Structure 1
Amino acid sequence: MTRGPNQESILLLCKCITVNDLGRSRTKMCYRQDHQILRGPLHWTANKKCERYTGSNVDTQRRTLQELAGKNRGNPEPELTSIACNDTQAEAAADLSLRQLNAHRRRGFVFGLNRITNVQEQFDEENGSVFYLTLDVLETDCHVLSRKLWNDCQPKPSYEAVFGECKVTFQLSKPKRIAHLHNYDCVLTPGRRIGCGGCLFPQPLNDTNFVEVAKNSLGKFNSESNNIKYFLLGNITKAASQVVAGRAYHVEYTIHESSCNKSTEDPSQCEPLNCEFAHTGYCKSFAVAHWSAPGDKQVKTVSCDIFEPEV
């Protein structure tokens, strides 16, 4: 399960001088969350009396917003209206929310949109539309560290397919130039695996055979690349085996720039470079062990994409 930045966060209804994306200027009331979780340009009055509520999912937070709004403003909350899944604005909200959702994630693969299954809209003239969408998604072949847009990536092949459902809350207001993902909640399910000769079979990510291939292939990359810095192994994201004239190992993993130059004599002393200028990367490797020597895993290929730091 993948949750957005609003998981187990604190919702507060407060008196504001200016309002945030979900505020209502008619009564100068607005909602905010714990500033450590969601930052926003809010300016509070000296008498900042707030009602506190802890929410953990999209539906609960939506109901709470409606209940608190009605109780504190005395004005009815705009009604939820079901709209067509192929509505132009609904499709735009789905696209933008999926872009922001993927940008927020730091592990796993970019989610692509399979289809929109449900849309509800809450509209008022002051703040535009708040969309509550249910999206069917699937994993693509792009890791989230690549920061590629979902429609620039290809779905994983059927034998690796992972499907999911995401519930998102997204606000869209063209006049105010607001396009903001408030929260999301995704549940993923692996697709059905059908065996076949020569197919790749997923294996546990912590299998020592694949950890060995990852380390050896990263060593090959460090020695052959033109990078000045030594890169360390991050997380193994894919491990699959294949029956050939022996056994083939397909391993994918993240890497992280270290504090050492690649010329270091003792890589075990290297630490991850912990600053905003550190580079990360994503590697794909392939190794083969012949039946006659099952323990001798020869790394045949390794390729790594290095990503510029977010600064």
Structure 2
Amino acid sequence: MPWRPWRLSAGSAWKSAICEEYTHVFKEGIGRGGRLTICENEMLDTDNPILTITYYTKGTFLLQDNEASLNSFEEIFPLLKAKVEKERDETHVNCTDSEEEGPVNPTPSPSEHQLRDSLALLELDFTEFREHTQAKLPDAHNTNIYIQELKDELQQLKKNTSSSITELTRTIRDLQEENRTLRLQLCRLEEDTEKKGENFSRQLQEINDQLQKNTKDITLHYNTAPTTDKPNATNTECEPTTNLQQHRPHLPDLNLIQMFSSSWTLMENSWIPRNSSHTKESLQSDVAQQAMPTRSSENSQDTPHVLSL
């Protein structure tokens, strides 16, 4: 809001002239002076005044409002000045005798005038600063409330964050414990699997040894079997076959060996661990070795049959 300072003498006379010029004037006192608020109607709405005039005891007047109101006051200022001078002259005529009888006051020097003007300006600046500070007090109160709300929100946020961290820490601890338990179970399962694999490998080795032993016994028995005398000519056609059937030993069935090999392959894929010494290739080699004596024994069985003929 623009303002204009005025340095006027006879402050009371100017105050009276302004009150006579404007109809609706709200008067209030301030420190070392007063304020005249010129309103539009008799409601005296000081929030929307036409013009605000602040005066001080040293003769300084401060006018505040928009440019239109200030220009309007400048237009009527000569009329107000004429009224003030007229009233001052009348007062001067009435007081001439008493002034002549009293002591003559010395004329103030230019330095005194400058000092008074400086003091008036300082007083004006101080008044403006005080009014500005008082106007900012509600804003400061609202700012304090806003700061307190921010502090409360920050405190609540810290509390929520601390709770979240505690909950996450507890969850991580539970997961670590569960992971440790699962690792122990996995180690036990691996140990059990390894033991079962070793057991099956040992059983397989025993079966292989037994099969090889039986195959050797059968082959040895067949090779050392005594040969029969040459039959008569009349019984040549039927006796060799009968003798061969009587002396031929019972050999293991090749289909049974193959079925056993397939069953063992299935068991090996299911139970034997990867690091076992018995791999699939070694098992197939063992089964092939077991089958070879069987075929040779069959061939050896056929050979005596031919020789007997």
Is the shorter-chain TM-score for this pair beyond 0.5, marking a shared fold?
Answer: no
TM-score, scaled to structure 1: 0.20
Between Structure 1 and Structure 2, which shows a larger proportion of strand residues?
A: 1
TM-score by length of 2: 0.20
